[in-house]
Amino acid sequence: MKAHSIYGLKIFGSFAVGLACIGLSMPALAADDASIKAFSSAPLGDPPAAWKFATLPNKAPTKFSIVELGGSRVLKVEAEDSYGNLAHAVLVKPGARSMLAWRWRVDKLIENADLTVRAGEDSPAKVCVSFAFDREKLPFGERARLTLAKSATGEEVPTQTLCYVWDNKLAVNTGQVSVFTKRIRFIVLQTGTGKLGQWVSEKRDVTADHQRMFGDESEGKVPDIVSVIVSADADNTHGSALAYVGDITLVP
């Protein structure tokens, strides 16, 4: 099984694809394997091996590291005119309520970030879930762009990715389709400076959120969840950001 990242390789001719794969082989996972390696029990330094990093050619990499903060070990995420994803493979058949929980903290926002335009589609912190939606159910143009992305990366590209975002301007609970690709859709959970420098705990019903953001094409069914991703990018705005993420859990 492959661990998938997101975005990247943003332009193929006139098509904005916005998708990429890590391209690292992962061990086969049992059905309903929702285990996610904890940051809190990892040694200081590089993230646990189960978390696979990817950036893009000709891009500075967003930095991910395990640090001690407030007596706990957490993931530090540093973006500096950079792009990067950290992905963990899972295999989960969602139930009536599949819950994703984590805590995060943003210490520095990206001043010119704006998810509604290409020049601003950056964020200091995203926690994302990718789904194995049947690509044959997508319109021809969408399938063609996925095929193009696969030919460039050599790996399968996730057909649906839902990202929870800490933004700097959009209202909380805003749903937004990526300006680069319909294969990625956002829900804003935190916004602005009101909670800057504070830990915030999140718990999301992934089943309900998937149906909210991808219900137009999923006919009421939630596909298998195949990866959980931590992401931060500041390459479009040429800005910088600092965030921290605690342990992430997924309960089918």
Structural domains in the chain? 2-251 (2.60.120.260)
Quote the tokens at residue 11: 């332009």
Q: What is the 3-state secondary structure (H, E, C) of the chain?
A: CEEECCCCCCEECCEECCCCEEEEECCCCCCCECCCCCCCCCCCECCCCCEEEECCCCCEECEEEEEEECCEEEEEEEEECEEEEEEEEEEECCCCCCEEEEEEEEEECCCCCCCCCHHHCCEEEEEEEEECCCHHHCCHHHHHHHHHHHHHHCCCCCCEEEEEEEECCCCCCCEEECCCCCCEEEEEEEECCCCCCCCEEEEEEHHHHHHHHHHHHHCCCCCCEEEEEEEEECCCCCCEEEEEECCCEEEC
pLDDT band for position 35 (cuts 50, 70, 90): very high
pLDDT band for position 143 (cuts 50, 70, 90): confident
What pLDDT, on a 0 to 100 scale, did the predictor assign at position 17?
32
Q: Dump pLDDT digits (tens) for 181-215.
A: 899 999 999 999 999 999 999 999 999 999 999 99
Report how far residue 188's alpha carbon sits from residue 192's, in angstroms, rounded to the nearest whole number.
Answer: 11
